[in-house]
Amino acid sequence: MLIHSAAQLLTIAGSPQRGLHLGELGIIENGAVLINGETIVKVGESQELLSQYPHESLFDASGLVVMPGLVDPHTHLPWVGDRSDEFEMRLIGKSYMEIMSAGGGINSTVGATINSSFDQLLDETRQRARTLFNHGTTTAEAKTGYGLTLENEIRLLQSIDTINQEGPLELIPTFLGAHIIPPDYQAHPDDYVQSICLDMLPRVVDWWRTKNKNAALPFVDVFCDQGAFSIQQTQTIFKAACGLGFPIKIHADEFANLGGAQLAVAFHATSADHLVKTSPEDIQALAKSTTVAVSLPCTPFGLGHSEYTPARDLLASDALFALASDLNPGTAWCGNMQFVIALACRYMHLTPAQAVASSTINAAAAINLADRIGSIEPGKQADLIILSVNDYRQLAYRFGINLVKNVIKKGRVYSV
Ligand code: NIG
Ligand code: FE
């Protein structure tokens, strides 16, 4: 298939974009891209490709933007139920942490999730996966974390695996058994940490190997924050996870700065996510590292907070920066990366080009997939989106609507 005559073809070709290089979109006007099966074969100007390949089936993208599929490197996709009651409680003065300490918050979603049937879990998760896809996300990371026992966490991994097999949204799993300390362990939280290290992680390896023999292991993530896991507990889990060969991620500095960003860098984590209460020293540590700083602007927005990730300081310091949705039922029920881009431009002062690169090639780097997805280049997987507008900046400028017209996943065209 030859997609041709795009008003703008954003290739975003090359490596993940560090620091102030962020935003190099490699735009070809009147651009074309040739796809064979699941793979991109050639990229260039329309006249040239149309004359070189006269017998291909054609997709006319006149007046439209063609760009890489959006990548969402941080979601809590599988869960059951909702917390609209807690949202209302927050509006009349209770904080997220107060609700969580009183047994609500993540705990209430754990309850709803573990008490549901597997079919219900799949139904609710599948609907969200479809929404992400229809809004242009072609690959998303998906975390467990609403199970908190070996059996229930594996069930969540199983739901992610099932939805991934069904497609078309591709899912990259993360084990987040360390989401919160379960109520039964409140008096002796280190026992839960030990059970993650000695029981859950080795069993996750066994489960994964029986299903996906040679594929890279899922990520292991820890919510390192006030009311969740301490820096020592996070370190203990990271040691065990790295010892078993897991790639790692962290939730750091969402509510309080415990030093999670620097710990992530010390363990060569793939990404450090949230980064709101992040200090100048943390920024320096991230800047010199390969750990991708992932900002989740829907979260402060969803909580009605005014503080966001210091994105411009991270970029000025030469860090690798990416965006994600944080889709979850507590702080941010939004899996629309177009809205993430709109927020990032307004509240973190990214340019539209920076926000787009942060949601494609750099987001791919945040899940170790920048060699396969995130740009339109020969040899890469044919994951593209076609916008119903002729200028990519509309993605940041407009908000609250869907500008995606078609999604192309592994070479297959879907209409939205
Ligand atoms: O990233 N911080 C931890 N996890 C989620 C919230 C999950 C929930 O409230 O259910 C987050 O914000
Ligand atoms: Fe999160």
* Ligand 2: centre distance to CA 62 (Å): 38
Closest residue (by CA) to atom 12 of ligand 1?
A: 331
Q: Which atom of ligand 1 is nearest to the CA of 96?
A: 9
Q: Is 254 in the pocket of ligand 1 (CB under 6 A)?
A: yes
Q: 153, 200 in Cβ contact below 8 A?
A: yes
Q: Give mean pLDDT, residues 334-358.
A: 98
Ligand 1 pocket: which of 274, 326, 340 to mutate (most atoms within 8 A of CB): 326
Q: Are residues 172 and 273 in the same domain?
A: yes
Provide the CATH number for the domain around residue 389: 2.30.40.10
Q: Are residues 30 and 128 in the same domain?
A: no
Q: Evaluate if residue 226 carries a pLDDT over 90.
A: yes
| pLDDT tens-digit map of 367-407 | 999 999 999 999 999 999 999 999 999 999 999 999 999 99
Q: Give mean pLDDT, residues 114-125.
A: 98
| pLDDT tens-digit map of 18-55 | 999 999 999 999 999 999 999 999 999 999 999 999 99
Q: What is the share, in percent, of the chain residues with pLDDT greater than 70?
A: 100
- Which of the four pLDDT bands, split at 50, 70 and 90, describes residue 214? confident
Q: Are residues 58 and 75 in the same domain?
A: no
End-to-end CA distance of the chain: 19
Q: Are residues 393 and 381 in the same domain?
A: yes
Provide the CATH number for the domain around residue 136: 3.20.20.140
Q: Are residues 170 and 307 in the same domain?
A: yes
Q: What is the dihedral of CA 38, 175, 142, 14, to 10 degrees?
A: -50
Report the SS3 class of residue 315. helix
**CB neighbour burial string for 162-192, b if at least 16 within 10 angstroms, e if fewer:** bbbeeeebbbbbbbbbbbbbbeebeeebeeb
C-alpha 28/C-alpha 5 separation (Å) is 10
DSSP state of 197: I
Q: What is the reported pLDDT for 405?
A: 98
Report the SS3 class of residue 305. coil
Q: Which atom of ligand 1 is nearest to the CA of 100?
A: 9
Q: Are residues 42 and 174 in the same domain?
A: no
Q: What is the reported pLDDT for 403?
A: 98
Q: Give me the helices (H) in 325-378, please.
A: 337-347, 352-358, 361-365
Please state the three-class secondary structure of 270-304 as a single string.
CEEEECCCCCHHHHHHHHCCCCEEEECCHHHHHHC
Residue 289's domain comprises 70-365
Q: Taking all residues of the chain, what is their mean pLDDT, rounded to a whole number? A: 97
Closest residue (by CA) to atom 7 of ligand 1?
A: 330
* Ligand 2: centre distance to CA 134 (Å): 22
* Ligand 2: centre distance to CA 326 (Å): 5
User: Cis before residue 168, ω within 30 degrees of 0?
Assistant: yes
Instruction: Point out which residues pair with 172 in neighbouring strands.
Output: 141
Ligand 1 pocket: which of 90, 97, 180, 223 to mutate (most atoms within 8 A of CB): 223
* Ligand 2: centre distance to CA 178 (Å): 12
Q: Are residues 58 and 148 in the same domain?
A: no
Q: Evaluate if residue 212 carries a pLDDT over 90.
A: no
Residue that terminates a domain, selected from 348, 365, 382: 365
Q: What is the reported pLDDT for 213?
A: 82
Q: Are residues 106 and 202 in the same domain?
A: yes
C-alpha 66/C-alpha 28 separation (Å) is 10
Q: What is the reported pLDDT for 369?
A: 98
Closest residue (by CA) to atom 9 of ligand 1?
A: 330
Q: Give mean pLDDT, residues 146-175.
A: 98
Q: Are residues 118 and 174 in the same domain?
A: yes
Q: What is the share, in percent, of the chain residues with pLDDT greater than 90?
A: 98
Closest residue (by CA) to atom 2 of ligand 1?
A: 223
Ligand closest to CA 109: 1
Q: Are residues 270 and 233 in the same domain?
A: yes
Q: What is the reported pLDDT for 177?
A: 98
Q: Are residues 167 and 221 in the same domain?
A: yes
Q: Is 105 in the pocket of ligand 1 (CB under 6 A)?
A: yes
Q: Is 299 in the pocket of ligand 1 (CB under 6 A)?
A: yes
Q: Decide: pTM greater than 0.95.
A: yes
Q: Are residues 22 and 155 in the same domain?
A: no
Q: Is 106 in the pocket of ligand 1 (CB under 6 A)?
A: yes
How many domains is the chain built from? Answer: 2
